[in-house]
Amino acid sequence: MNRITDLIPAPDKKGEVEIYVNGRLECTVSDAVLTEAGLKVGLELDFDALESAERKVNLTRARHKAYDLLSYGDMSAKTLYFKLLRAGFDEQTAGDCLAVVSKEGYIDDRRFAAAFAEGLVNKSYGPRRIEQRLYEKGIDRELAGATVEAIETDWVENAKRYIRPGLVGIHDRRELSRALDALVRRGFDYVSARAALGELGADEKFLWED
């Protein structure tokens, strides 16, 4: 029988305990796993129960880590998952943790995407750049595209708000070319960018020439 004959604090591992079975060292576990499994000297060591207890303890630790990470700000499920992996949790524990915190309402990709996109609109980003940034934040392309489609804003006005402060020489071909490139890099398409510059007084012949 696999009867526990001794439980000794691990000499080099704080918070861990060595489990001896029939007088021989069998394994080392954390205090939390030992308590969760209800292991005591004299009891038979149930390896299945020990593994189950370890999974439960790891999930609890992962949840606390997730709550701590989310206390700094909302994020996508994908971002949280990889942060948990980098924190040392295995893929199963990280995945189980995501399921729990998602059910609790702590993470919601639709909510995060909508709020993040709104923030970028307020900073005068264009739709293409917003969609790209959402994807970089862990939002899948389908949801990123749908989020941008749902934004209710005037992209031309947004482009004007972005480019107006730095725009000089409104009738200078080189300056307009730089302004147009800046708007495109910001995520606006050429039609919206040209319309914005036109409404700011740019010469039409400069804007629409090849």
- pTM (2 d.p.): 0.81
- Cα distance between residue 89 and residue 15, in whole Å: 18
38 Cβ neighbours under 8 A, 6+ residues apart: none
CATH number of the domain that residue 170 is part of: 1.10.10
Domain containing 75 equals: 55-106
pLDDT value for 7:
92
- 142 and 184 in a single domain? The answer is no
**Is 50 part of a structural domain of the chain?**
no
The 10s digit of each residue's pLDDT in 126-144 is 999 999 999 999 999 999 9
Encode pLDDT of 69-86 as tens digits.
999 999 999 999 999 999
Q: Are 133 and 120 in contact (CB under 8 A)?
A: yes
Q: Are residues 159 and 203 in the same domain?
A: yes
90 in the same domain as 61:
yes
For residues 89 and 116, membership in a common domain is answered with no
Are residues 136 and 178 both part of a single domain? no
Distance CA 38, CA 25 (A): 18
Residue 33, amino acid: V
Q: Based on the domain organization, do 102 and 113 belong to the same domain?
A: no
For residue range 5-57, list pLDDT tens digits in order: 999 999 888 888 999 998 899 989 888 888 888 888 988 888 888 889 999 99
Q: Is residue 89 part of a domain?
A: yes
Summarize the confidence of residues 97-120 as an average pLDDT.
Answer: 97
**How many domains in the chain?**
4
Is 13 contained in some domain? Answer: yes
The pLDDT of residue 155 is above 70: yes
Structural domain contains residue 94: yes
